[in-house]
Amino acid sequence: MQQEAGRPARTRKTARPKAEPAVTKAASSAASEAEARQADETPDAGSGAQTAAEAAEAMFMAGGAPTARRLAENIERIEALGHRLVTALGERALPNPGVEAPGPELMMTAAGAWMKALAEQPARVIEQQVSYWGETLKHYTRAQLALARGQLTAPDDDAPADKRFQNPLWQSHPYFNFVKNQYLINARALQDASAELELPDQVARRRVDWMTKQVVDMMSPTNFLATNPDALEKAIETEGESLVRGLENLVRDVEQHGGEMIVSLADTDAFTVGENIGTAEGSVVHRTPLLELIQYKPTTDQVHELPLMIFPPWINKFYILDLKPQNSMIRWLLDQGHTLFVVSWKNPDTSYADIGMEDYIDAYLDAMDKVRELTGQPRLNVVGYCIAGTTLALTLALLNKRGDDRVNAATLFTTLTDFSDQGEFTTFLQDDFVNGIAEEVQRHGLLRAQLMSRTMSFLRANDLVWGPAVRSYMLGETPPAFDLLFWNGDSTNLPGRMAMQYLRFLCQKNAFATDGFDLMGHRLHLSDVKTPLCAVACEGDHIAPWKDCWKGVAQMGAPDKTFLLSESGHIAGIVNPPSKKKYGHYAGGADFDHGHEAWRESAGFVAGSWWPRWGEWLAERAGKMVPARAPEREILPAPGSYVHERAG
């Protein structure tokens, strides 16, 4: 059944009891006596043993100690949470091995490479093993000698800084220091062994390196209670309350994600789109089954003649461009005198399974027609962000083939159009994983948001998986009220047909940059993009690496091309308002013939945001100033209804 539009119901938080102060010596003594009496009175197994909760309650009744009472309460909470956890885990759908890990072919490739090395260069393999054993034995011997001499301090530690090991005990405590350094020895051994394998191609190399990194990150001692000093200190400080809160957080996440263990990155109750984020004033002026078109209220008396329209990615919600007033690109563009329209995409359900790339391009053209009708202007300027930029490039190529010049100038944010180098997505763009996604699509009709979020998270596992899991499940912390992480968790499903077209033809076959992408009766090539163009990429972007963004733009046929390179990553590099004065950018490069580094050499570095430079570029192509245009019709006030639909 199609999900109804509207704001989701807010989940009411359960109040958590606060940890009481530590008991006095007298109370502790009373608790100990109660434990002793309880031990004497406990019947043997043959007479029916008491439950742990009954034992704790008896201890409380005997001694009246606050610690015993808390113990009884916590045990009852743990038992109830345990039942909920088992029930929630039972809701998990049948697993799909194709999207859980690389297929057996990669494992066989790695094993074959190791056997080949053992057969052809046994001395090198033995040397690796002996080196690892030697490092481990030396490490163990140093710790044993220090213990035998009564030197209960950690040795000098020159290990590189790692934010996982910020607690001083990792440096000063002999146990934690030993555990950390043995982990680092193990990690180096795995990485060295992987690096020495002679693999058949670069794809196998990247996949083996990725798998090795996942194992190394997963086995960090910070991910286990017994070897995490932060978690142990917190448990002692709160008398175990932090661990109970952590279990509550775990149960909540498993329940919210249909039996999957996906850690929440942000407090979902801290924000409501349209109330404390995404609050720029405007109206939904057009709605179709695929999009709502928002026209924003002008903030200047005069505006540029040509309207400006933004197509955000439909893999996330549009309000990344309007999180709060001080970093809102939407508000900034209004202040620059643009009549601004933004698309809010439908969050697809299973009824959208057959929606394809051509349907999204039709939606682009329909939205452009509506903007032209509402403003009385035959031409407009457009912006596409990420996958919406990829689709915008296809649309521009199609319009060129049709002889349609409605788009006056286009801007692409962090947009990939040449996928010859798959970068960090190499692991996920091979047949074993893509075939697994095809099975998911066949089963659900969608590439579900849950799977996409998990895939993206494991590109930065320490920051987006293990670190948040430790804070939530072992330290018992509430997820932060952080607007960017809230947006990151508010992702969307993708229609099955569109997702497979994107993966098979654009990513795997790289058709747009090679033989051509067949769409709507035309074969489209990058060289067909003739529209005046400004492209913005980000230096630290791991989703759309800037060199690959540049490579696609360099092949486009537009004689008027501008490329800007912002510092920082996929989001922070784009949402980089001038007021922050945080990240600079490269601009002015004109060499599109000799590779991305030659372009950067020809560019100059400019301190501060790229927004003003782009604003000048837009203004030169936006026509004369005319009286401001306010929305004349309103289906709903901004931010509309589609933005409130959450993937389920």
- 538 contacts 416 by C-beta, under 8 angstroms: no
What is the Cβ-side half-sphere exposure of residue 645, based on CA atoms within 13 angstroms? 21
- 342 contacts 318 by C-beta, under 8 angstroms: yes
- Rounded CA-CA distance 55/423 in Å is 57
- Classify strands 308-311 and 585-587 as parallel, antiparallel or unpaired: unpaired
E-strand ranges in 241-334 read: 282-287, 291-296, 302-304, 308-311
Dihedral sign (CA 66, 67, 73, 77): positive
Catalytic residue flag (residue 507): no
- 544 contacts 386 by C-beta, under 8 angstroms: yes
- In 3D, which of 510, 555, 548 has the Cα closest to residue 424? 548
Side by side, which strands form the sheet with 585-587? 604-606, 585-587, 561-566, 533-538, 407-413, 380-385, 308-311, 340-345, 291-296, 282-287, 636-637
Q: Other C-beta atoms within 10 Å of 525: how many?
A: 19
| Element holding 571 (H helix, E strand) | none
Catalytic residue among 386, 534, 538, 549: 386
Q: How far is CA 497 from CA 13, 357, 360, 390, 488, in A?
A: 38, 8, 11, 17, 24
Q: How far is CA 428 from CA 64, 354, 434, 462, 504, in A?
A: 58, 23, 7, 19, 12
- Rounded CA-CA distance 435/102 in Å is 11
- In 3D, which of 420, 342, 331, 350 has the Cα closest to residue 647? 350
Dihedral sign (CA 224, 227, 230, 236): positive
Catalytic residue IDs: 386
